[in-house]
Structures are given as C-alpha cells and as structure tokens.
Amino acid sequence: MRNVAIITDSISCLPPDMARQYGVRIVPINLYFGDKVYKDWVDITPTEAYEQFLKDPERFATSAPSPGECLEVYREVSKQAKDILFVTVSAKLSMVYESAQVAREQAKNELPGATIEVMDSYTATAAEGFIALAGARAAEKGQNLSEVVRAVEEMRDKVSNIILLDTIRHVYRSGRIPKVASQAGSILNIRPLLTVSGTVNFASVVRSRERGIERMLRAMRDKVGQQPVHVAVMHAYALDEAERLKERISSEFNCHELWLSEFSPVMGYATGTGTLGIAFYGEE
C-alpha cells in the first residue's frame, strides 16, 4: 500500500496502460455527441471520438467531471492510500480544478482519515501527464505527501509542450480568436504553433506542416540541448504521422523516455484533427 495516491484527469493524455503501470487514477472528462454522453478514454477512445467529431463537429460538447464524480474517486482511492494528490489541467482552461476542490471540502467529513491535496498543473496535454507521473514515481518510492508534492512542483517548473495545428479553422471554439479570423486563416493555410502555460498561447505560425515539425523540434532542442530527454508525442487522429515523428525524435535526441499518445478530444474540439504535439523535459 502506497503512502500517496495520484489522480489526474483525462486531458493529461496518459495512455491507460501507463496509468495502470504507475498506479495513476484517471478522472474522465464528459464528452457529448448530441444526446449521448461518454466518459473520455473509458466509454470511447479518442480515435472513436474523433470519428464522431468529423461527422458533425457542431453536435460535440464537453464538460468537467462534477464534484460528485470527483468525490466518488476520492472514496475509492482512499481505500488504497491515506493521502491523495489530484493533479488537474490548468484551472484557466477547465473547471476540473474547481470540481476537485469542492469535492475535497465535501470529503473532509466523510473521509476524516484522508489528506487530500489538489494541485493546478498550469498546463495540459502530456505535460500535465508528466507532472502526474512525477508524483506517481515519487509515491512508488515510498515518499510522503509533502515529498510527492515537491516532486510534482519541480516537474511543473520544467516540463514544456508545443502543439502544431493542421488547420486554424476550429480555433475560434477556444475563445482565443473570432470565428471569421479562423476561417480566413484556414483559407490561407496558416498553421499555428501553440504552447500551454496557464492558458493556451500562440507561439508562432507556419505555412506548411513540414516547417511546423521543424519548428517544434528546434524548440525542444533549444531547451534540452544534449541532455537526456523525456518526450511524449501526441496526435489527434494522425497516428501514422505521430509514429514518424516519434521515430525521428528517437534518432535525433538522447531519449531517456519516449511514448506516444492521443490528444483528448476535449482539446481536439478546438484544434481539429491532424494536430501533432510534443511534451518534454530534460534530465540534467
């Protein structure tokens, strides 16, 4: 039995097998297609969700887990560990953090023996996943809650991500730019490069996918240099290209850890299919 249980949400892009390997509990985001509700990565895979999305994007919606859903997860994991740490997607991007905090207050009377901490990752995608993994790996070593929190904070300070959109057409759904600007950018074949640090930020734009990939790899090289690097390659319904990117990263970088995952459809709703991304950090 571990001292600390780690929870994160499905926007962290942690593949189910990796989550099981490290004992990370994933709280799914709710996905809505018309009148049907699915649990992200539970009732529907990202690939299946993107296939639904492509049929009718306007009928797709999402919502954060409710406080009641978070409380139920607290109940379950409290049977396995006395202390709990929930690492959430950036509070500026989703209501997950707020739901987790409300559930934490509700749990104080019901689970008096458990200490629950909720931490804002300030990011999303597999960068959030790496932060949760840092906590899980510290917990695996038998560290206590304060030590696990310290490991998570250290990872939060050094992990980065960069995302290449195949089109700007859907970005208006994020609220970052007007719909007419998205449509105009799509006509001009503008492909944005984004980062997530608190909020979604435009890093630059390119006119071709190849240049975008080069820009992503250059950004990673500038940050990590010759250090061993931990990398996650992510995609939205673009598996073949993601696998080629993974192979290239493996050949060009000193990879201590390299894995492949899919973007949660929660993000794909605003980025569109064909999106590629990397999350990474260097190991000194």
Residue 194's DSSP bridge partners are: 163, 202
Q: Residue 228: its pLDDT value, please?
A: 97
| CATH T-level assignment (fold) for domain 160-282 | Hypothetical Protein Tm841; Chain: A;domain 3 (3.30.1180)
**Domain residue limits, the chain:** 4-29+64-157, 160-282
The Cα–Cα gap between 262 and 45 comes to: 9
Angle at 122 between CA 15 and CA 226, to 5 degrees: 70
Q: What is the pLDDT of residues 89-141, one digit of tens each?
A: 999 999 999 999 999 999 999 999 899 999 999 999 999 999 999 999 999 99
| pLDDT level of residue 161 (50, 70, 90 thresholds) | very high
Q: In 3D, which of 193, 284, 273, 175 has the Cα closest to residue 230?
A: 284
Q: What is the CATH number of domain 4-29+64-157?
A: 3.40.50.10440
Give dist(CA 84, CA 5) in Å, integer. 5
Backbone φ and ψ of 60, nearest 5°: -100, 135
**Window from 40-44, 172-176, 245-249 with minimum mean pLDDT:** 172-176
**Position of tokens 């006395």?**
82
In the predicted structure, residue 173 carries a pLDDT above the cut 70: no
For residue 220, with 0-12 CB atoms within 10 Å meaning exposed, 13-18 middle and 19 or more buried, which class applies? buried
Residue 104 CA: distances (Å) to CA of 73, 98, 239, 251? 11, 10, 38, 45
pLDDT for residue 67: 98
Banded pLDDT at 223 (limits 50, 70, 90): very high
DSSP state of 10: G
